[in-house]
Amino acid sequence: MRNNTFQLCWVGNDECRMHLFLDKTVDIPVQLHFLCFPGSERTMLKDIHPSALFLDLEGQENHGKELFHWISHCKELNSRARVLLLLPDSLSRLVPEAIDRGVDWILPVPETQSHVSFMVKCLINLYEAESSVSGFKKELYRKHSFEGMIGVSPVMQDIFQRIKKCAVSNANILIRGESGTGKELVALAIHNLSKRRQGNLVTVNCAAIHDSIHQSELFGHEKGAFTDAKYRRIGYFEVAQDGTLFLDEIGDISPSTQVALLRVIEGKEFFRVGGLEPIKVNVRVVSATNRNLEEMVRGGRFREDLFYRLNGFSLTPPPLRERKEDIPLLAEFFLKKNAKREAKPVVGFTEEALDLLGCYHWPGNVRELENEIQRIIIQVDEERMISSHMISRHMNVIESFRSNPSMIIPSLKVRMNQVEEYFIKEALKLNYGNRTRAARHLGISREGLHKKIVRYRIH
């Protein structure tokens, strides 16, 4: 909608009928548009951006089906637009197709003026209510978003403050945490808030680069440095000059590359592969990993001196299970994003659906939540609210333990033991088998956890 006025578009072959039905609505804020059909093109809707579309099929015995093409075009322009169909008895056979096409209401003709007027007033009230909710959500996003990240939870607010403080420093930053927690967004925020924001942010996925070409990718190479070096190549460090180099999955670099990386961080210069002249470099290194680098250092798989060079300041975005209060806002954000992209008229979640999302443990974190919302949006047809039955079955713990109707229902004690065993296994999985952390996660003692592991024979 281009302004605050409700835009109502009537498509039919008689403008007088529009005024006959709608003139009683002149006392409410509505702007009427009439498009004659046949004769008008669907593209004309773009200039109107309708809040509601009335398709008048009276006298359209030969063109009724053609009008159905206007429905999808209208909802592409405004996913919240409602479509109403004035359908004479002679075209009642079109009802199933009209519903399949996405018509919201079908009004039989002849219909009284008062009924249509009442329907328009209801539509306006509904549209204003949805606009208010939408405005409220935008205000929530504005208040609780930070450099592309969303969080109302104390742990996220703390992360936001820590990012602000470390971004203006010159320290190298190590971002730690589980996959899917948004480490890339943290790196982007650090760069955007730093004194180097005018320079490049160069992202390198260390896990995607083969060990044999790590150094060539990072530092570049001279023509003829090796068999396939047919030209000089500029490496990531040079591209990031005066900016930020983000080394994702830093735990995956080879020992030889660790040595070379340590040398350039300490000496602020490097050689291209096959080069003889040192190249001065002024780059801030931000790295990220979901591995335990301290354990890798103790095991000799990661250089201790490189670890301390990279870990000038550490940030750990929390897993989603530790910031459950952020789930509704994140879910609404991903819903709006994907509904717009897929041109689907979905506007929100039922309370039961949000409760279900809040109870799930989200091992894949924010990335898994976004993928779940995207999957739902792609599959929905004309639903305007996401209900609990659309959520993936494995996310419903109660559903996953529901018995097959053909089986004997076990006792409550047996079923509770199964639930307890399930959560113990999940806690151990989430904490990579560390029993101390798993016990803390479950809120029980380590000794109590050990007894239950023995009891359920968990390996």
- For residue 5, pLDDT over 80 is answered with no
d(C-alpha 71, C-alpha 15), whole Å: 20
pLDDT of residue 404: 45
Say yes or no: do domains 6-141 and 412-456 share a fold.
no
- For residue 309, pLDDT over 90 is answered with yes
Residue among 173, 246, 259, 264 at smallest CA distance from 205:
246
Assigned CATH for 6-141: 3.40.50.2300
φ/ψ (deg, to 5) at 127: -65, -40
pLDDT of residue 403: 43
Residue spans of the domains in the chain: they are 6-141, 153-315, 320-400, 412-456
User: What CATH topology corresponds to 412-456?
Assistant: Arc Repressor Mutant, subunit A (1.10.10)
Instruction: Give me the chain's average pLDDT, please.
Output: 83
Model confidence at 141, pLDDT cuts 50, 70, 90, reads low
Residue among 287, 288, 293, 286 at smallest CA distance from 169:
286
- What one-character DSSP code corresponds to residue 317? P
Global pTM value: 0.62
Assigned CATH for 320-400: 1.10.8.60
Secondary structure of the chain: what % helix, strand, coil (to 5)?
Answer: 50, 15, 30
Q: Which string of DSSP letters, residue by residue, matches 34-89?
A: EEETTT--GGGHHHH--SEEEEE-TT-TTTHHHHTHHHHHHHHH-TT-EEEEEEEG
d(C-alpha 324, C-alpha 362), whole Å: 10
Assigned CATH for 153-315: 3.40.50.300
Strand 52-56 to strand 6-12: parallel, antiparallel, or no bridges (unpaired)? parallel
pLDDT of residue 110: 61
pLDDT, mean of residues 54-60: 82
pLDDT of residue 248: 95
Contact 80, 130 (CB under 8 A): yes
Beta bridge partners, 55, equal: 11, 85
Contacts of 200 (CB under 8 A, 6+ apart): 239, 240, 241, 243, 244
CA 103 → CA 85, 98, 405, distances in Å?
Answer: 7, 6, 38
